Structure formats: structure tokens, C-alpha cells
Chains A and B, each alone.
Chain A
């Protein structure tokens, strides 16, 4: 599902942020990516989103080659991905329902479909009672649930999460992780960047550790490594 071959990304002079990385993720896998601050995790996510272009190597995601992809094709490609961030990135002037529906409007789904699908997803992330709330009226955990609902409402093949629990307390973090696992259980490939040692150690998933742009370890049912 995700295949990186000898991928390098440098922002300018100096050491590349991602340095000759090889990574292969099968369909339906759940992968943690960990590492110190500045080790290149977010850069990796941005490469996968084709927000950035790699400066070397080749990336294939969901059957699509990213280096050669035309600009016109990028929007279609991104519809195969869902993404959540540490800071939720919700639209502050729109309520929960509209924030999720937005993701469907953007790709031109008919209203009839939106009306059916949005409540379904909100139910799935446990927000069935909060359609009308504005983001500011929600707790961090609830906001991240909305972001998750928005990320999966179009049924992506892959869910990318860049420190989704970075702003949340331990209990809420566990709940969000449980949701991610649940989404993964329905066949979506999930890649989670995190610093959360307890969660990584508790969940017994594949763990990829980065350091200075290089993958230094990659273990099935792995543990969190400090370096």
C-alpha cells in the first residue's frame, strides 16, 4: 500500500530531513512512526501527502507513483488518503456536522449521500449527540474525533495521523488510539506518528523509529525506543 525506495528529501543545504529511507507498508497494516523531534517524521507524512516532492528515490502509494504525478492528478490522489494532525485543523466557524460534511462537499458528493453518511461517521467516532456544536465548544478529544470523522468520511485507503494525541491527556489519547485501531480493523491502512511511549508500548503494533532522517529500527510488535 505504501512503498518508499531510497527516498531522500532535503530542504536545502545540509543533512536531508529524510535520508535514503526504505519503507514498505502492506494494506491493512497499523504502523507507528516514532523518533526525536526533528528526525523527519512530519516530512515523511508530507511526502506521502504529496505536499512535498522528494529529492530522490521513489514513492508509491495506493498504486500511484508520486514523483511523476501531474499536479492535476494530486487532488484525486489525496481522496484516497485521510489525514489528522495534532492541532485538529477544524473550521472554527462551522459546526461539527458541517465540518465533516465539508469533506464530502469538497469532492462533490450529492447532498443526499452527505445526509446519510455524515451521521453514520459521527456515530462511529462517538459524537452522535454533538452535531450542532462549534469546535470551540468541544474538548480537545472531541475535536480530534471530529477531525477523525472528517478524515474517514470519504472511506480512504490510508489514514495518516501526525501526532494525533499530542494535545490530549492520557485517557483521551487512549480513546483516540482505540478509534484508530477500530478504523484499522475495518481494513484501512493506518500510519501514526507519535511521541507517546506508553501508548506505543501498550498497543503492540509495528514500530518504525527514525533518527536524523534515517530509519534506525523497524519492528513487528515493537517497543518505543528513546533514540
Chain B
């Protein structure tokens, strides 16, 4: 395409937006609201995920053995696991050590329960290895591998905290999917409306272009561009406002809920935007492009 043609299409696209600015503003605002909400959920989800992962990293894989497994056999299994490149650390914990740890945590020194179980360890047979991985994404493969080893009874991964976090993260995820889905439909509808109003306003011009021999692409390009611009502008508003809002909220949480925030950590705004910026922009451009593309396809066939 010639530079002059590109320039022409650009100018027409921008003109379209000005010509029915009320529709344009409505689509931009809906789009902005849509991506703002999306961003809100997105930022919550990635922070929850971030904490889930951290929790999971802290919780090692625990390997239990079949009853009657000898210490030598357990040592052999330990060596097999240690030989894996994805294993960060591996420590052995005997049943006695496990019980001591447990009792210390839940029963005060000298309590009845501590006495009752003193000589009759309820965790008998729970000798185990605690294995941590250097890459959480490889954990699944490692677990599969260990499960196949002889004498291994069970491999436990995440703990309840991690599960809980995962559940929350899933819930937030599904709720946001629904809300975003609805808003997406509204934005698509509004942009598509804006573009078709633009087309009807310019129907005479379009007819003339057709007579002169303009290709479908040439006729459609300004309208598609209009959709893309509306999408980009609609995405920029929440992207910019959330950038500041996010930092403020994190700061506020740190100050006012310091006990809670001790256990939880937040992604920095830069880390969060590493994915949110392209995702948000892509969403805006995508909605704008698709809705205007199909609207023009529907209305511009002569």
C-alpha cells in the first residue's frame, strides 16, 4: 500500500470518530469500563496466583512408604529422587521426628495428649522424604516419577493453605469471566453500532467509492481502523488509571493491614503490568478490530 493511501485511510478513520463522537464516546467508555473491571480481576487473580505459587514452593512434596519398608530401601529411593535434576532439596523425616514436630505445634508441653501418645506414636509408618523442586511447573512430572518408584505408598503435594488459595483464585477467575463476558458483549455491540452509524452516515460516499472502483478493503479500512482506535483509547483509560490505583491500593494495604500483609506479598506494578499491559491492549484492539471487521463485512457488500 502507498504511504498516501495509508495516510488517507488514517485520516478517514479519525474523521469517522469525530463525525459521530457521541457514539464513539459511548463505545470508548463502555470499553474502558469493561477493561477496567477486567483489570481489577486480573490484578487480583495474578496476585492470588503469585501467593499460591509461593505457598506451594514452601510446601515440599512429601513421599510416604508402604508399611514394612526397610531403612535401606528408603535410602535407595532417596538416592533415586536426589538424582533428578529438578530436585532442589530432599530431607528425610522419620516418624518420630514428624510426631515431635506435630505435637510441638498443636499440643502444649505437658498436655494430656502429649502424654498419651508419648510412647505410642500415632504417626508410625509415616517416615517420609520432603522434596522441594526448583521449578514449580515441573512438580507434576516429578510427582509422577516418584509415584512409580518401588516401596512408595503415597506422594502428597500441596497443603491446605495452597488449596484454599487456589480455590479463591478459581472463584475470582470464574466470576470475573462472567462479568467480563457480559461487558465484552456490550462493548462489541456498541462499537458495532458506532461503526454502522458511521457507515450509514457515509453511505453516499461509499456508493461513489464503489462506482469509482475502490476495493472492498479500501472501503472498509477506515471503519476497521475506527474500531481499532476506539479499542485502543478504550483500553488506555483503564490501563493508565489502574497503574496508579494499583500502587495506591497496595500501599494502603501494607499500611493498614500489616499483620495480614506479612503473610501475603504483592506483585510490583511493573511485574503486574508485564502481562496486564499487553493483555489489556490486545483485548481493546481485539474487540475493536473484530466488531468493526464483522460490521463492515455485513454492511459493505455491494
- Chain A residues within CB distance 8 Å of chain B: 49, 51, 71-72, 75-79, 81, 83, 89, 91, 102-103, 105-108, 110-111, 114, 150, 154
- How close is B252's CB to chain A, nearest CB, in angstroms? 52
A51 pairs with B2, CB closer than 8 A: no
Enumerate the 9 nearest inter-chain pairs by beta-carbon distance, A residue then B residue, closest first: A79-B213, A78-B213, A106-B214, A75-B215, A111-B4, A103-B212, A75-B213, A106-B212, A108-B5
A75 interface neighbour in B4, B5, B214, Cβ under 8 Å: B214
Excluding A77-B213, A83-B211, A108-B1, 10 further A-B contacts by CB distance (< 8 Å) are A51-B302, A75-B210, A75-B214, A76-B213, A89-B208, A105-B5, A106-B212, A107-B212, A108-B218, A110-B2
- In the assembled complex, the Cα of A103 lies from the Cα of B214 at a distance in Å of 9
**21 A-B contacts, Cβ less than 8 Å apart?**
A49-B211, A51-B302, A71-B301, A75-B210, A75-B213, A76-B213, A78-B212, A79-B213, A91-B204, A91-B205, A105-B4, A105-B8, A106-B213, A106-B218, A108-B1, A108-B2, A110-B2, A110-B4, A114-B4, A154-B212, A154-B213
Inter-chain contacts of B218 with A (CB < 8 A) = 106, 108
Decide if B113 is an interface residue (CB 8 Å cutoff).
no
Query: Bound complex: CA of A72 vs CA of B8, how far in Å?
Result: 22
For the complex, is B138 an interface residue (Cβ under 8 Å from A)? no
Q: Which of B's residues lie within 8 Å of A, judged by CB?
A: 1-2, 4-5, 8, 204-205, 207-216, 218, 301-302
Tell whether, in the assembled complex, residue A107 and residue B214 are in contact, meaning their CB atoms are under 8 Å apart.
Answer: yes
- Measured between alpha carbons, how far is A105 from B209 in the docked complex, in Å? 10
| Nearest CB in chain A to that of B208: its residue | A89
Instruction: Report whether A78 and B8 are in contact in the complex, using a CB–CB cutoff of 8 Å.
Output: no
Cα A84 to Cα B5 in complex, Å, equals: 25
Q: What chain B residues lie within 8 Å of A150 (beta carbons)? A: 212
Q: Which residues of B are found within 8 Å of A77, using beta-carbon distances? A: 213
Question: Is there contact, CB below 8 Å, between A107 and B4?
Answer: no
Query: How many angstroms between the C-alpha atoms of A176 and B267 in the bound complex?
Result: 74
What residues of chain A lie closer than 8 Å to B8, measured between beta carbons? 105
Which residues of B are found within 8 Å of A111, using beta-carbon distances?
Answer: 4
Return B17 CB to nearest CB of chain A, in Å.
15
A71→B216 CA distance, assembly (Å): 9
Q: Which A residues lie within 8 Å of B210 (CB)? A: 75, 78
**CB-based contact A78/B211 at 8 Å:** yes
Shortest beta-carbon distance from A159 to chain B in Å = 12
Given A105-B4, A110-B2, A111-B4, residue A75 in contact with residue B208 (CB < 8 A): no
Interfacial chain B residues near A76, Cβ < 8 Å? 213
B165 to chain A, nearest CB (A): 55
In the complex, which residues of chain B have a beta carbon less than 8 angstroms from the beta carbon of A106? 209, 212-214, 218
User: Which residue of chain B has the shortest Cβ distance to A76 in the bound complex?
Assistant: B213
Chain B min CB distance to A187 (Å): 20
| Residues of B with C-beta under 8 A to A154 | 212-213
Contacts of B209 in A (CB 8 A): 106
CA distance A108 to B1 in the complex (A): 8
- Chain A positions within 8 Å of B211 at CB level: 49, 78, 83
Q: Of residues B5, B205, B209, B213, which shows the largest number of chain A Cβ atoms within 10 Å of its Cβ?
A: B213
Q: CB-CB < 8 A to A103: which residues of B?
A: 212
- B198 shortest CB reach to chain A, Å: 14
B216: chain A residues at CB < 8 Å are: 71-72, 75
Q: How far is the CA of A81 from the CA of B207 in the complex (A)?
A: 15
